[in-house]
Structure 1
């Protein structure tokens, strides 16, 4: 049986071949009624795009990759959802890769493993250095997510991020305004990542601004930004002498905060009565935890949109483009874990 072609679909739908091509590639400038009619014809005829033919015709496969440290982390799972939606709108298909924070794996994926297939990569690096990524970005379409750690403000690749120092400063200042005076931090990792370093910097700035003294004993170290490490770190803080023990903690991720809340529950302490808890990521788990978790919310939809559009522009450009840095919005969602006010979730 001969393969179904774009022409066959166009004849069945009563539109031009160009229109069918636009619908199949996800180009947004097509009316919903036309898109529905074309997709019905695609389904009825069993049309399947031929990536090899597309590659020969355009020099591109239409495939991009999103590489993140850990897909089990709600933040990255939610981000992947938004990247997939934006990529589809831009006419791309996304392959999802997990690096587990391994520098060699991050670098391998940044180079476009199977580069003959991939058009570009969106990478959230945890361990690989900017110096290693610089030559990659010069040769292959690459967009970085997350915190930056460039020397002398030299941008080595397109980068989409939130202002992490400001985010940490916002949430710590919120805890101080509530009258908390022994504010701890959970999330100082080793070797210290840019994420940890910047959130610790914002934490210290907010303490200084509130007239509070930074106490290194209240800066708990972790190996990973996960629930288990949050639990262990909070247990460690609770083992400190009573006069040092924190009355609030800023956790560098929502998962650390969830673990910390469980340790407080184990100890028979009330959140926020005895210890207020706040995190970063704006995950759904923060919304549905008990008590609901105060969290800094990065605009994940904006991050995904900026990253995909930036990568698409670099893929489609015939000339080299200057590297750019894009700052996505963030905001603080105050919930029960800091203000103690019970709220009914909207259905």
Structure 2
């Protein structure tokens, strides 16, 4: 059994009320008394009773973040931003991994109950609008990404069409015309892949470059091995591409490996650009050009929306928020 608040009060020689005031950081405690209580808390290794705090204030101080893959650099970096920015709301972040499976995502919606967390942030890959409507739990919810942009809940994303257009326009601006795209997912009707393909095609159309479906390679998942396989297939074409836009940075890193093994120079023979702005790309050889979403802004916006809901905005209309991005031109596509 850990020390109780009564134990701390007895050890410090003060009242239980004084210890409570210090724990809750109330101002009406003298500096000397506050220091004495804090020393007693530390010496007794006191841990607050979260259940009691819940009964008093109806808040747990915990929010849950559910992402498809913790091992993915993008989601790992995004989760780190949530942990960092949650501190300004006095929240601890509980991180869950769904592997993009619908059953796991549905469990995240209803399995993490309101008596355990104050709010829930989910980056879904397989959920449907019907899954959102069928929620039994009323924990405040914010969605990330593009999978459910029209669901009746708060939502934070980036403009994937414009980001893909910017990546492709950059390749066109350096004189490339046979620009391949790696990462299409024809079996998925909505989501990131469809939006990035739309932006890619829009940039080609604006410059008057004909769309060639032979240059669009699917990727069952967005891992390095998928980029490697897709780039290898592109290099087997009678007329290989002179540039490639990969729908995420891991695909691009796999593509760079395939190009290296086949003796192609980057960017002299084939220019490469990715999407996500993961830290790994800056330390690759050559350093990877990319579209970098503002992950910090995604976290700040999602946490602010969640805070508003928790504070009493349950009946307000769902909010849409967009984070910015930037084009980072590095060695893999430098002129």
Partner of 2:82: helix, strand, or coil? Answer: helix
Superposed CA RMSD in Å reads 2.8
Note if 1:189 corresponds to 2:185: yes
TM-score, structure 1 length as denominator? 0.86
CA positional deviation for 1:143:
0.5
CA positional deviation for 1:2:
7.4
Indicate the larger mover: 96-105 or 107-116: 107-116
Note if 1:246 corresponds to 2:241: yes
Q: 1:22 to 1:317 in 2, by over 3 A?
A: farther
Q: Is the 8 A contact 2:123 2:144 kept in 1?
A: yes
Give the alignment of 1:247-326 within 5 angstroms: 247-317=242-312, 319-326=314-321
Note if 1:237 corresponds to 2:231: no
Q: Is the 8 A contact 1:190 1:223 kept in 2?
A: no
Give the alignment of 1:148-227 within 5 angstroms: 148-150=147-149, 154-192=150-188, 193-227=190-224
Note if 1:143 corresponds to 2:146: no
Rg (Cα) greater in structure: 2
- How far apart in 2 are the matches of 1:254 and 1:132? 30
CA positional deviation for 1:116:
3.0
Deviations 1:51-70 (A, max 9, x none): 11111111222222110001
Matching residue of 2:68: 69
Matching residue of 2:29: none
Of 15, 19, 23, which aligns to 1:20? 23
Deviations 1:138-180 (A, max 9, x none): 9331101112544xxx441111111110100111100000000
Q: Is the 8 A contact 1:79 1:300 kept in 2?
A: yes
- How far apart in 1 are the matches of 2:197 and 2:35? 50
Q: Is the 8 A contact 2:113 2:139 kept in 1?
A: no
TM-score, structure 2 length as denominator? 0.88
Q: 1:250 to 1:37 in 2, by over 3 A?
A: farther
- How far apart in 2 are the matches of 1:201 and 1:94? 34
- How far apart in 2 are the matches of 1:140 and 1:280? 32
Q: 1:315 to 1:36 in 2, by over 3 A?
A: farther
Q: Is the 8 A contact 1:112 1:120 kept in 2?
A: no
| Consecutive unaligned residues in structure 2, runs of 5 or more | 27-33
Partner of 1:104: helix, strand, or coil? Answer: helix
Deviations 1:189-245 (A, max 9, x none): 253251000000000001111111111111101110110000000001111112xx1
Partner of 1:327: helix, strand, or coil? Answer: strand
Q: How many residues align?
A: 325
- How far apart in 2 are the matches of 1:68 and 1:319? 24
Matching residue of 1:28: none
